[in-house]
Amino acid sequence: MNGIIFDIKRFAVHDGPGIRTTVFFKGCPLKCQWCHNPESIDRAPICIKKTSRLNGREFTDQEVIGYEISTEELLYELQKELVFMEESSGGVTFSGGEPLMQHEFLLEMLQLCRQTGMHTAVDTTLFSSWEVVSRIAQMTNLFLVDLKLMDDSLHEKYTGVSNKVILENIRKVAGLTIPMRIRIPMIPEVTTTPENIRQSIAFLSALNGWIEAVDLLPFHNTANEKYNRFHMKNQFSDKHSMKKEELSSLKEQFEKAGFPVKIGG
């Protein structure tokens, strides 16, 4: 079976335990205004025109983002780092985009990784049907789940979709007792508001302790160059990057509620 990915990042240390290889799937049903991977949103590969200048002459080139790869080819790529994964208790993380958008391809990869003894994590919004989520839950070792905004109208405003399915799926996954880390992007004045933090803590606390940890992911204003390359408007171009220290009081609030918290992935 073939899938479409746009990157493979080796030696990743923020996408789950140990040293990992992270595979970025193409396609995402959300359109978060702060997205750092805007090239991931279209499911199909995209072609962008690049213009560069050298000695006063202008050159135009094309760059294709995304490519088709078979499960066998991808497994071959992942196995190259098997030694590092084993020695660090690491593994493979499937990210995106939204990996559940290519769930059949993802399922086959999870099965192959399991047969090879590789630990797997799926980094997901859980914006999918329960049928898909439950099938993936049976095959992966860990979920890294995004939680963005608790207020549904704000969620729709900033991501383009309602959060109802997402919250319901988080509740159901918690009931399966599969390890789950919650990842909250810390977007200044959007997700960091006292109300959103209070509601997030209340929601997670009601899951009866099935959250392994909470990762607070500081916003970084580093995507401008990408947005320019892709001729897209970065709606968060004027927001400042958050420093770790700015998140210490938010970290304390989650810790007081009983969650182990890490700043960064």
**What residues line the site for ligand SF4 (CB under 6 A)?**
28, 30-32, 35, 37, 40-41, 96-98, 125
- Taking Cα atoms as reference points, which of 220, 260, 258, 255 lies closest to residue 240? 220
User: Measured from the CB atom, is 3 or 97 closer to ligand SF4?
Assistant: 97
Closest distance of CB 191 from ligand SF4, Å: 12
User: Measured from the CB atom, is 149 or 263 closer to ligand SF4?
Assistant: 149
Closest distance of CB 201 from ligand SF4, Å: 22
- Taking Cα atoms as reference points, which of 96, 108, 185 lies closest to residue 140? 108
Using CA atoms, how far residue 149 sits from 10, 65, 141, 197, 229, in Å, is 30, 29, 26, 9, 29
Beta bridge partners, 5, equal: 25, 67
Closest distance of CB 82 from ligand SF4, Å: 27
Using CA atoms, how far residue 52 sits from 9, 60, 65, in Å, is 26, 6, 18
Closest distance of CB 161 from ligand SF4, Å: 9
User: Measured from the CB atom, is 85 or 183 closer to ligand SF4?
Assistant: 183
User: Measured from the CB atom, is 66 or 96 closer to ligand SF4?
Assistant: 96
User: Measured from the CB atom, is 38 or 118 closer to ligand SF4?
Assistant: 38
Closest distance of CB 223 from ligand SF4, Å: 10
Tell me the Ramachandran region of residue 200: left when phi exceeds 0, alpha when psi lies from -120 to 50, beta otherwise.
alpha
User: From CA 157, how far away is CA 155, in angstroms rounded?
Assistant: 5
- Which residues touch 261 (CB under 8 Å, ≥6 apart)? 213, 214, 215, 216, 251, 254, 255
